Amino acid sequence: MKNLGSVFAAYLVGWAVFFVFYLTVARRTALLREELDRLKQSMKKGS
Amino acid sequence: MWKRGIIGAAVIALVGAAAYASFFIAPTERTMGTIQRIFYFHAASAWAGMTAFSVCFVANLLYVWRRQTKWDALGVSAAEVGLAFITIVLITGPIWAKPVWGIYWTWDARLTSTFVLWLLYISYLLLRTLIEEPDRRALLSALFGIFAFLDVPLVFGAIRWWRTQHPAPVIMGGPGSGLEPTMRAVFFFSVLALHTLMAFLIVERYGLEKLRTELDVVRREAEVV
């Protein structure tokens, strides 16, 4: 099983890229949703 | 919300099953040995990345034609996802190359055109951060996206038109090329799993872009009030 470590490393790095990408999308979505809710609240109070 | 969770779990299970098949079902390749198992992830990621860039290209064309925000949102979503897949290709390729070629990297036609493709889509995303006005940003990035896509057929053809260090194609290659049946089945299963993941990520990213558009509308309303 020569080079098995390299194969594992390749798969792990690949999954890490997907995971980090998904996390950044989820985080950006949460921040935008927060800002949208805040803005809607302040508009309600203003009207 | 729970629907998204179930779909996400199903996608993870599918990608996990593809990895299991690559490690435990695909036979060990005679010349390269275990390291060849990277192929199922590396090449399937490349196919998924190219499909994402094709989605971006179609969305860019539709934006130029129709000028509808949804096509701009789809274009940027597909470009980001495609970039994630091509990043994986550029990382897993050298890990595979080192034990087989003795080097991590060489400037041959396939590797160079893939690296240029990666740079082009990084530029596409950078360009979007430099333009404030939404319609202008959408139009210029769509035009740049159409130009960037010209490299995709070059990447596809590089190992067919020129003699390269990169292996010759085993799928859609010339006479005498091909894969052993189990290897072929595992490869296409990996392609299916990574395309499902790609579609899931594009939908998630598109949701973010829709939210951004909604926020812009509410901001404008708040300014008027």
Indicate the average pLDDT of chain A: 91
Which parts of chain B have pLDDT scores under 50?
Answer: none
pLDDT confidence of A7, banded at 50, 70, 90? very high
Alpha carbons B105 and A21: distance in angstroms, whole number = 25
Instruction: Identify the three-state secondary structure at position A3.
Output: coil
Q: Between chains, do B201 and A18 touch, taking CB under 8 Å as contact?
A: yes
The model carries a pTM of: 0.93
Alpha carbons B58 and B92: distance in angstroms, whole number = 28
The ipTM estimated for the assembled molecules is 0.91
Indicate the average pLDDT of chain B: 93
Those residues whose C-beta lies under 8 Å from the C-beta of residue B8, and which sit 6 or more positions away, are: B200
Q: Between chains, do A3 and B207 touch, taking CB under 8 Å as contact?
A: no
For A18, name the nearest residue in chain B, comparing CA atoms only. Answer: B84
Q: Does B215 touch chain A (CB under 8 A)?
A: yes
pLDDT > 90 in chain B, percent: 79
How many beta-carbon contacts under 8 Å exist across A and B? 88
Q: Between chains, do B95 and A13 touch, taking CB under 8 Å as contact?
A: yes
